[in-house]
Amino acid sequence: MEIGFVGLGAMGRGMAANLLRSGHLLRVWNRSVAPAQELAVQGAHAMDTPAEAGAVDVLFSMLADDASTRAVLVEGGALAAMKPGSVHVNMATVSVAFAREMAALHREQGIGYVAAPVLGRVDVAAAGKLNIVAAGPAELIQRVQPLFDLMGQKTWRFGDAPEQANAVKLGANLTLACAIEAMGESVALAGAHGIDAGGFLDLLSSTLFAGSPVYKGYGGMIAQERYSPAGFKLALGWKDVGLANDAAQAQGVRLRFGEVLRETLQEAVRRGDGELDLAALAKMSKVDRQ
């Protein structure tokens, strides 16, 4: 079996590296050539175009958003190069509307389509311990499951329509951003009364939210004001919270806190924090207090 992987950013690089353990031929492509060349040293085949990477049995993509996914897969020719009966697995966090559009396009071309966004930061991706949220035809997910097992510790299935996986991922990222906002505001409250942020957040992660990697991990970053290097950029969090609001509105659902959070993240990006880790959202409560 031949495998392709396009989009070798911070997350994709580690995921593609883990696929090399499958023993199958792996074709890789990225806009900047350095990540593809690094993987070539490990045994991958670096391609010059997305179309060359797409001429495989299973194609994985991990691109930043709707626009970049469309540019690489559709305009870049990756999908057109795929043969009927092959499978494309989109592991990016994209909008529900775009996922629906992509599913229809794949059906027209006779290509299988699975949406499989992931939960986990860069170090988790490199370790092959991601949680994979998958939706699409059961037989297609079953076909690619051995490859999922190389990249993740568990695959969570959420329906036969690919866009359902994207709805779940957007909901998860909305919850993550809400938790960070809650920590930022509560730290600002405690700090205004002379309470140390580290001790306060240690209390939360050891009692009310014991066992939560979000409160433990992000709480530690907030306490130390350690926002760089970014494992998940704040600008991407803004994008995802916006997509969550859009997906809810399309179904007649209003996310009242989600709307406020979208505005807060947008303001953080305007202030120049977009390239920092999403944990930097906590800075906004301090800004308001000042």
The last residue of one of the domains, among 161, 186, 203, is: 161
- The set of residues, in sequence order, having a beta carbon less than 8 Å from that of 225 and lying 6+ positions away, is 283
Residues of the chain with pLDDT under 70: 287-290
170 plus 130 within the same structural domain: no
Determine the 3-state secondary structure of 155 from DSSP: strand
Query: How confident is the model over 25-76, as pLDDT tens digits?
Result: 999 999 999 999 999 999 999 999 999 999 999 999 999 999 999 999 999 9
113 plus 25 within the same structural domain: yes
**Catalytic: which of 83, 129, 154, 169?**
169
Determine the 3-state secondary structure of 2 from DSSP: strand
Range of the structural domain that residue 29 is part of: 2-161
The last residue of one of the domains, among 161, 189, 204, is: 161
Domain count within the chain = 2
**What CATH number does residue 29 fall under?**
3.40.50.720
The predicted structure's pLDDT at residue 286: 79
**What CATH number does residue 263 fall under?**
1.10.1040.10
Give the HSE-up count for residue 74: Cα atoms under 13 Å, Cβ half-sphere: 13
Query: Closest by alpha carbon to 135, among 157, 106, 103?
Result: 157
171 plus 157 within the same structural domain: no
17 plus 40 within the same structural domain: yes
Alpha carbon 22 to chain centroid distance? 23
The predicted structure's pLDDT at residue 202: 97
- Edge-to-edge strands of the sheet including 2-6? 45-46, 25-29, 2-6, 58-61, 87-90, 112-115
Residue 181 contacts residue 108 (beta carbons within 8 Å): no
Stated pTM of the model: 0.95
Residue 128 contacts residue 177 (beta carbons within 8 Å): no
Q: For residues 3 and 56, what is the distance between their CA atoms, to the nearest angstrom?
A: 6
Look up 286 and say whether it is catalytic.
no
171 plus 156 within the same structural domain: no
The last residue of one of the domains, among 145, 161, 177, is: 161
